[in-house]
Amino acid sequence: MVIGYTTGVFDLFHIGHLNMLKNAKAMCDKLIVGVTTDDLVSYKNKKSVIPFEERIEIVRSIKYVDAAIAQENMDKIEAWKRLRFDIMFVGDDWYNTEKWNNFNKQFEEMGVRIIYFPYTKGTSSTLINETLNNLRNV
């Protein structure tokens, strides 16, 4: 059984989120999704619009997701030690960054592949938030 893992805030759920989960599930037998807690969202100096309990329930209800869990820290190696996934799915906006190059090396030694999915151009929670803010200020 191939276990896949990905994480995200999944705030203002949109087609980019759905496509990522759908494509990830197509590459594994079991897909585990870490949903970032409200406290951890602050690492981006942001605040989620949708509360954690609602975001995790949305993700848990998607047919491509076998399990949704709280992501309480950014340590992907710790997550692997708990979950023993075979593939980690990540947006390609992280590709070739120092942080993920280091993860690549560590995961390679553990036999874990990292798959980078294309970032959805034109749709993002950040863009949706900016658009809503602009509409409110008109």
Tell me the C-alpha distance between 119 and 138, whole Å.
Answer: 29
Q: For residue 86, give both structure tokens.
A: 């075979």
Catalytic option among 22, 25, 30, 46: 46
Q: What angle do CA 133, 137, 138 make, to 5 degrees?
A: 120
Tell me the C-alpha distance between 56 and 34, whole Å.
Answer: 9
Catalytic option among 44, 81, 105, 121: 44
Q: Active site includes 44?
A: yes
Question: Phi and psi of 2, rounded to 5°?
Answer: -95, 125
Helix (H) or strand (E) holding 121: none
Neighbours of 23 (CB within 10 A): 15
Whether the CB-CB separation of 77 and 5 falls below 8 Å is answered with: no
Q: Which residues are known catalytic residues? A: 44, 46
